[in-house]
Structure 1
């Protein structure tokens, strides 16, 4: 059966009935599992047979834009309008079905709108069955054009040492902004975390790169990329990234500097990470299982191994033996013996030879660059709400992805750090366990996940989705002292008839919380008060001037600025390099 024939056969299919149809085929248990497996095969790389065409998506505006209003998440039930697709060979039109959804975080409303988009339909054949698993906006292929005059003035006004940090629970789109800014900086530096960070960037031909250790400035030929002392480095993963970049014509040697003080993350750290999650059972944290926590633990208890130790292979075996023996004594499921030690030593002898050209005293390098007035951009991994001190502990990462981590992770003085840009999605997502006050449960969250293609760069896991939480955002801005914000993925909200902002936390008794609480049990009980703004219900992905945005979109941006008290200077309206509005 061909894809178009299948579309005609489906007729009008609502989101809920599509789930049921997939279940009846018996190929998957849940829709997200299917999407995730397809994403791992490369949704945008044409790994499977993909039919790409331009279709008109015509929707009628069924309800007038609502006025801004406030409501409490305690409402017993809310209504969600779900667009249903008629799929045929000539057009895609929509009808509207209404269903009741009850949850504590408000409703997600989808209504029709007139728009034209390039759609991708992915198909997969198995036992003569084809399943349509997604429709997604395709990023246009863009050249690495010069930033417009407005954008250039914004970028050039940034201080000598600037930083880009996440404002939520990660996955905000930091890599794209770093990639754009990097052209105007001499150095891009990572200061914390490890391969648990996942930054997606595109080159001038539109090719996608998923980076985990290498700083996002690597695609800019004149930029030096520094992996600082605060980063934990998994060498097999680093070499894999370097090989992938160089195979695509990106020069790395001489442009990637690895701190001699950075700690090495071994494969056994990853194994221990999985064992610890298994031990926690229902209380698991939901880590990326990249070994980040165990490696930082080794660093803190002072039996870790640093990059500089690779230059002393005469003492390396003894240090590794101590590290492995300690791990075996702590975790019953971890088996360690002489053969493992011998194999690892031989393996790391080869790694040491390959890494040698990259090893640098980055503390000296960074401070020397500062004295020479070179421009430095610091790229944060993860985000402030995952900070070991300020995040929703213990559902956090093991480093400090906030402003304080810049100095300790690079060895530079606080006084030299200038403008910090906070990156925040126009809505909120979170991967793994932990409190999420504005989470949208049920079909509403599924629709937002589907529209934003919210699946982890590092793990492929589906992200939990919710409304923008301004209480958490204000807390993040206080900690970091942001000069400006980058609001990303504003285009994902384009199909919504109304959009909600979480503006106030209230105790169960109705009294107001004055700050973001550290008490997890309280976070699970709070009621969120929302402010409802009208949606714009039109495609904004081709807009490049702020004044050209629909009035409702501008109202949304300016309301966030008003409530948070930090200006939004950058607005993301698509995945490509050029899909950025400078305000």
Structure 2
């Protein structure tokens, strides 16, 4: 059976974890493809609310194999802690597989991250300061350390000694930052590696074997496609590729092994950190959406910037990723608004444009062409069938599908697992 990719269609925080969690119940495997502990998935279950950064969302579905692919950069200390916290809450983590090819985020990476943000002065990227960018930089510079290297007791300590020595010189001389305690951190890293070793393996072979057996494999991307290193709002982007193509690379699957690409979009928009955001709201409406949507970062706790749905950016994501269907989340947040605005187009320097500008200086000057939609002013949180949605809510959903070029197949109406409504089909068929 082919693979399904779940990707964020905006700037992250779209609710991908909820969708992956729903799909995992009928899937044999969930693979995390990119990013690191800068990502955050919040999943509400009968056992409580779980906030995860590295472990795939499928870990909460018994019988589902969870894989951390080679495209992820792993903070081993963070991952070891996350797994222990899950076990402490009664979650079985034995079905986890960690790619031995995944690169490692080391303690000095976060210090370099802080130093880079400080050097940017008044125009920071707004990173999570988790060291993700510097870890990917070391990876592509061919000086990174992989999980396999960290777990090799013959070479781990000498390699860590060399790495800490070189990076501490960089921290003190260039960034004017304090050096990392190499001795203490080495012991913590070796300890974390020992606890992770039972999970480490050839992840790409595990994934391919599952596909050969005919299992449904879910590949989940971190962040959102508008933060892609190549096609996002550069330089205000992440350091990996949270796209369908990036999912294939990071998970170890071929493009022709994918038959379904689910783009997850909020019914409005949000963004963390700096960067262009044409439909951003700065008024009381924006504040109310933030509070109703609990728009505070899972990883950083920072308040997110919020705005209306941006169909220009969304349509671009649909086209570049071959999105076959949309999961529209947090529809219930808009229950109390009338009218609702939709970013239907862009205007730059007085002229209508149909593309997303390449230069951030141009993108910053874009004015949204807003089109009003009627609000439904009804509570949708208890609705479980698409036919029971208010007619004006259905009209809004249909409009999103028409503007983006991909049909909406499911709608989120709350944080809980069962607050997912199928549009046009039975929910069991949608989350097959």
Identify the TM-score tier after normalising by the shorter chain.
over 0.9
Decide whether the 8 Å contact of 1:317 with 1:341 is kept in 2: no
The correspondence for 1:177, drawn from 11, 14, 19, is 19
| Match in the other structure for 1:419 | 260
Distance across 2 between alignment mates of 1:325 and 1:400: 30
Instruction: Quote the residue 2:390 is aligned against.
Output: 550
Q: Residues of 2 paired with 1:259 and 1:163: CA distance?
A: 19
* Matches of 1:311 and 1:292, distance apart in 2: 20
- 1:298 paired residue number: 138
Deviation of 1:443 (Å): 2.4
Q: Secondary structure at 1:321's aligned position in 2? A: helix
What secondary structure, in the 3-state scheme, does the structure 1 residue paired with 2:368 have? strand
- 2: distance between equivalents of 1:316 and 1:491? 50
Question: For structure 2, which runs of at least 5 residues remain unmatched after alignment?
Answer: 424-432
The 1-side partners of 2:121 and 2:278 are apart by 23
Which residue is equivalent to 1:220? 61
Deviations 1:214-268 (A, max 9, x none): 0001111110100000101111111121111111111112x11110000111122
Q: Please state how far the C-alpha of 1:335 moved relative to its aligned partner.
A: 4.1
SS at match of 2:341: strand
- 1:454 corresponds to which residue? 295
Distance in 1 separating the partners of 2:179 and 2:59: 38
Partner of 1:496: 337
1:325 and 1:336 in contact (8 A); partners too = no
CA distance in 1, matches of 2:90, 2:240: 33
Using the alignment, how far apart are the partners of 2:148 and 2:367 within structure 1?
A: 51
1:349 paired residue among 176, 186, 190: 190
Aligned to 2:245: 404
Query: 2:170 is matched with which residue?
Result: 330
- Matching of residues 512-551 of structure 1 within 5 Å: 512-551=352-391
Contact kept? 2:312, 2:354, Cα under 8 Å:
no
Give deviations 1:414-433, integer Å, cap 9, x for gaps.
21122010000000000000
The structural deviation recorded for 1:198 is 0.5
For residue 204 of structure 1, the aligned residue among 46, 52, 56 is 46
C-alpha displacement at 1:319, in angstroms? 1.8
Query: Which whole-Å CA distance do the structure 1 matches of 2:331 and 2:193 have between them?
Result: 45
- For residues 355-504 of structure 1, what are the structure 2 equivalents within 5 Å? 355-504=196-345
Matched residue of 1:460: which SS?
A: coil
Aligned residues: 420
Which of 87, 94, 97 is the aligned partner of 1:257?
A: 97
* Partner-residue secondary structure (3-state), 1:281: coil
Q: Displacement of 1:543 after TM fit?
A: 0.9
Q: Write the mapping of 1:316-327 to structure 2, written as runs, cut at 5 A.
A: 316-327=156-167
Q: Which one has the largest radius of gyration?
A: 1
Q: How far apart are residue 535 of structure 1 and its match?
A: 0.6
1: CA distance, partners of 2:312 / 2:396: 16
Preserved contact between residue 303 and residue 319 of structure 1 (Cα < 8 Å): no
Q: Deviations over 1:250-306 (max 9, x none)?
A: 1112x1111000011112211221121112121110001111001111111111111
How far apart, CA to CA, are the structure 2 residues paired with 1:504 and 1:440?
16
Whole-angstrom distance in 1 between the partners of 2:40 and 2:124? 21
RMSD: 1.4
Instruction: Quote how far apart the aligned CAs of 1:439 are.
Output: 0.2
Secondary structure of residue in 2 paired with 1:487: strand
Structure 1 segments unaligned to the other structure (5+ residues): 1-158
Whether the aligned pair in 2 keeps the contact of 1:467 and 1:502 (CA below 8 Å) is: yes
1:245 corresponds to which residue?
86
Aligned to 1:562: 402
2:314, 2:25 → 1: CA distance? 28
Query: C-alpha distance in 1, partners of 2:23/2:338?
Result: 33
The range that moved more, 328-337 or 208-217, is 328-337
Contact kept, 8 Å, 1:191 with 1:379, in 2: the verdict is yes
The alpha-carbon deviation at position 342 of structure 1 amounts to 2.9
The structural deviation recorded for 1:368 is 1.7
